[in-house]
């Protein structure tokens, strides 16, 4: 399992709270529109500490979003969305140059939960995007186990099955982190967190809700989960 700098497992904490009744069940009112999850203000506050270099760094940001809506039972990998973005000359206290709308990490109709892993790496060798790395590792035990869990979740959404699916999502995030460490000079597991459909509404709104940022050990970020009409373009 990866060691995440920022751990924000609010969905797991809610499932572990025995007082919550109906966790994993559909909410009374379905969401009226798809969801857009966008990352903002990703900052490496001390890149010399993390990347062991002076001057600017070529970096990549890889995001893996896992959710419980199996869109295509013939393609069980449809329950996760990997994205890769690359940035040049990143210096200390530099906010990565995302566009005004942020980095779009997920767009669609999730079910049961959203789970997100964010990783930042040196990009010296221009290794394949995360989607390609995961595709090449399709026969791995970690991916196969996650697919099996997704198929179980498609058949029912009780609290125990959702809990198992969240555990599988964490394993999948850790596996993505391991793949990146194998192809990159240096990879940091910046963030891992999750939100439930009920009662957390996938974390709709600002995260953190006070409008600030999650920060630990010279890493910080924030993200929004918003109802959306159509996906906006992002700067690669």
Whether 41 maps to a domain, the answer reads yes
- 8-22, 141-155, 205-219, range with the lowest pLDDT: 8-22
In a domain, 98, yes or no: yes
129 domain residue, yes or no = yes
- Which parts of 96-140 fold into alpha helices (H)? 130-136
Q: Would you call 214 helix, strand, or coil by DSSP?
A: strand
Q: What is the pLDDT of residue 138?
A: 85
Say which residues have a Cβ less than 8 Å from residue 82's Cβ, sequence separation at least 6: 62, 63, 64, 129, 130, 131, 134, 176
What is the model's pTM? 0.87
More confident residue, 154 or 122: 122
Residue 133, token pair as written in the block: 């790395």
Q: Which domain holds residue 187?
A: 6-19+31-227
What's the pLDDT score for residue 184? Answer: 83
Asked if residue 1 belongs to a domain, the reply is no
Residue 73 has pLDDT above 70, yes or no: no
Q: Which residues pair with 224 in a beta bridge?
A: 38, 206
Segments of 50-128 assigned E as strands: 57-67, 80-90, 94-95, 103-108, 113-122
Compute the distance between CA of residue 213 and CA of residue 203 in angstroms, rounded to an integer. Answer: 15
10: helix, strand or coil:
helix
Does a structural domain hold residue 217?
Answer: yes
* Averaged pLDDT, 100-112: 89
Work out the pLDDT band at 83, boundaries 50, 70, 90.
very high
Mean pLDDT of the chain: 82
The answer as to whether 137 is a domain residue is yes
> Which residues touch 36 (CB under 8 Å, ≥6 apart)?
104, 106, 107, 224, 225, 226, 227, 228, 231, 232
Domain total in the chain: 1
Which residues are within 8 A (CB) of 155 and not within 5 positions of it... i.e. 6 or more apart?
none
Confidence of residue 2 (pLDDT cuts 50, 70, 90): confident
Intra-chain end-to-end CA distance of the chain, in Å: 29
Residue 232 lies in a domain: no
**pLDDT recorded at residue 213:** 95
User: What was the pLDDT predicted at 25?
Assistant: 57
pLDDT digits (tens, 9 = 90+) for 143-198: 888 878 877 777 766 777 888 889 999 999 999 999 999 998 688 899 999 999 88
Residue 26 falls within a domain, yes or no?
A: no
Name the more confident of 14 and 78: 14
**H or E element, residue 144:** helix 141-155
Instruction: Of 64-73, 110-119, 160-169, 176-185, give the lowest mean pLDDT range.
Output: 64-73
Kindly tell me the sign of the dihedral angle through the C-alpha atoms of 187, 170, 64, 205.
negative
């Amino acid at each position: 399992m990866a060691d995440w700098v920022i751990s924000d497992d609010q969905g797991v904490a809610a499932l572990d709270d025995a007082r919550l009744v109906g966790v994993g069940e559909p909410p009374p009112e379905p969401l009226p529109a798809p969801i857009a999850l966008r990352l903002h203000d990703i900052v490496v506050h001390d890149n010399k500490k993390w990347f062991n270099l002076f001057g600017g760094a070529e970096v990549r940001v890889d995001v893996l979003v896992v959710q419980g809506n199996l869109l295509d039972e013939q393609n069980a990998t449809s329950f996760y969305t990997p994205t890769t973005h690359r940035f040049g000359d990143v210096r200390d206290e530099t906010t990565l140059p995302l566009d005004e709308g942020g980095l779009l990490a997920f767009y669609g109709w999730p079910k049961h939960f959203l789970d997100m892993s964010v990783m930042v790496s040196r990009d010296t060798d221009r290794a394949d995007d995360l989607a390609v790395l995961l595709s090449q590792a399709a026969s791995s035990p970690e991916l196969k186990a996650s697919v099996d869990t997704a198929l179980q979740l498609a058949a029912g959404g009780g609290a125990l099955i959702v809990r198992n699916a969240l555990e599988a999502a964490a394993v999948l995030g850790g596996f993505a982190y391991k793949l990146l460490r194998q192809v990159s000079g240096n990879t940091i597991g910046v963030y891992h967190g999750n939100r439930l459909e009920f009662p957390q509404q996938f974390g709709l709104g600002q995260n953190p809700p006070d409008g600030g940022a999650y920060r630990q050990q010279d890493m910080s970020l924030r993200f929004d989960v918003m109802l959306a009409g159509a996906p906006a373009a992002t700067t690669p």
